[in-house]
Structure formats: C-alpha cells, structure tokens
Chain A
C-alpha cells in the first residue's frame, strides 16, 4: 500500500527561526509531490509542488526532493506566528490520486 509518512508533531519553533518539515514515501514510482497548509477549521491550500530532485524555492519556502532516499522536505525561513498550521505532504505516481500524509502540526512561538 502506498504510504506517505509525516511526523505528527507538534513541531515548535521560535519566531524568525527555520522550520523543517519532513515527509517520506513508500512508492518509488512517485513522481510529483505537493505541500499544502491547512489552518484549523479550514481546507488545505497549496504552498508548492516539486517534481525534480533538488531544491525549489518560493519566497520563504523551499521544497527539497530526494528520490533516492524517498523523502521530501519543506523549509520555512523566518517563521512567523501566521505560519502556525498543519502541513500536509502528498505524492502521486502519475495518473493516480494523490496520497496524503496525516500532516505535521507546526507552532511558531512569538
């Protein structure tokens, strides 16, 4: 069974620090990966996606993909209290539905 694993947290970081969120996946055929942010009581919103090995940067966010080690990570620089949310990692092998992890709760302490 295809699985995406995330540490449930909570992960607590001080304001201004770098938050590092990690995700591992079981299916070596996975090709595309997504990070979503979900505030309590709200629906998930896309932060970024990554298809290729290496880093992808978008503002304060950097996604990292290592297909050999089967992990994906999300770095949030200069963390703000407004970044406090649950972060969902999802992967797909292509033409198959996204498989979501259960999410990591991030708490940024002011």
Chain B
C-alpha cells in the first residue's frame, strides 16, 4: 500500500506571497492532519480534516487554511507569507479518528525569503 505523499517537497517563496501544499493520504484513510515543524517549537498541530470537514483546528492565524476533497486528498494554503512561516510542513493520515495511529508523509520544506 502506498504511503502518504506530499507535493511539492521543497518550496522557496518571498514574503507576502501565498502557497498551496498538497497531501494524498494512504488509501482508505479518511482523516488528514497537518503539522508545522520548526526547530524551536517542535511539531505543532494546524488542523485536521475528515470527510471534507475541518474537525479540529490548532492555534494558528487565519492565514493558514485547508480543505479536503471527496477522495480524501487535502490541501493547505498559507496566505501573506511571513519569514516565520519557514518550516517543514507535515501531513499525516489515519483511518478515521484523530487519536488513532497517524502515518506521516515526507513533508514539504518551505523557505520564505
């Protein structure tokens, strides 16, 4: 069974731009969670989608948004990029409940200049 895939793997943007990241979960998994990982803050939860609905949301500003499609693929968008948004963005999928085992994709490394 194929794992979680994320595209693109690397991205360089400038302040003020926006970015869209994509995540395809493991086949059969319906829950997709997004995390931001930085050296100082560790893994921080952004949001979780299940059946095209945002089920949980972390403590991030409204510039961070996401959505999920009917095939469980998910996208996250960051508008008006700031230098502090430079991070590794990780997507994880699970069968259905957010407390179940989550399997991570390879991540998208975003650098904001």
Instruction: Tell me the A residues contacting B by CB distance below 8 Å.
Output: 31-32, 34, 36, 42-46, 49, 88, 92-103
Contacts and interface: CB of A to CB of B under 8 A. Distances in A.
Contacts of B35: 100
A42 B105 CA distance: 9
A35 B58 CA distance: 21
A93 B42 contact: no
A96 B99 contact: yes
A32 B99 contact: yes
B102 interface: yes
A99 B45 contact: yes
B104 A95 contact: no
Nearest to B107: A43
Given A43-B90, A43-B104, A92-B99, A97 B42 contact: no
B105 A43 contact: yes
A18 to B, nearest CB: 25
Contacts of A96: 56, 98-99
A95 B97 contact: yes
Contacts of A43: 88, 90, 104-107
Nearest to B94: A98
B75 interface: no
B63 to A, nearest CB: 20
Interface in B85-99: 88, 90, 97-99
A88 to B, nearest CB: 7
Nearest to A42: B106
A45 B105 CA distance: 9
27 contacts: A31-B99, A34-B101, A43-B104, A43-B107, A44-B43, A46-B101, A88-B42, A92-B98, A93-B99, A94-B99, A95-B99, A96-B56, A96-B99, A97-B33, A97-B45, A97-B48, A97-B56, A97-B58, A98-B45, A98-B98, A98-B102, A99-B45, A100-B35, A100-B43, A100-B45, A101-B42, A102-B41
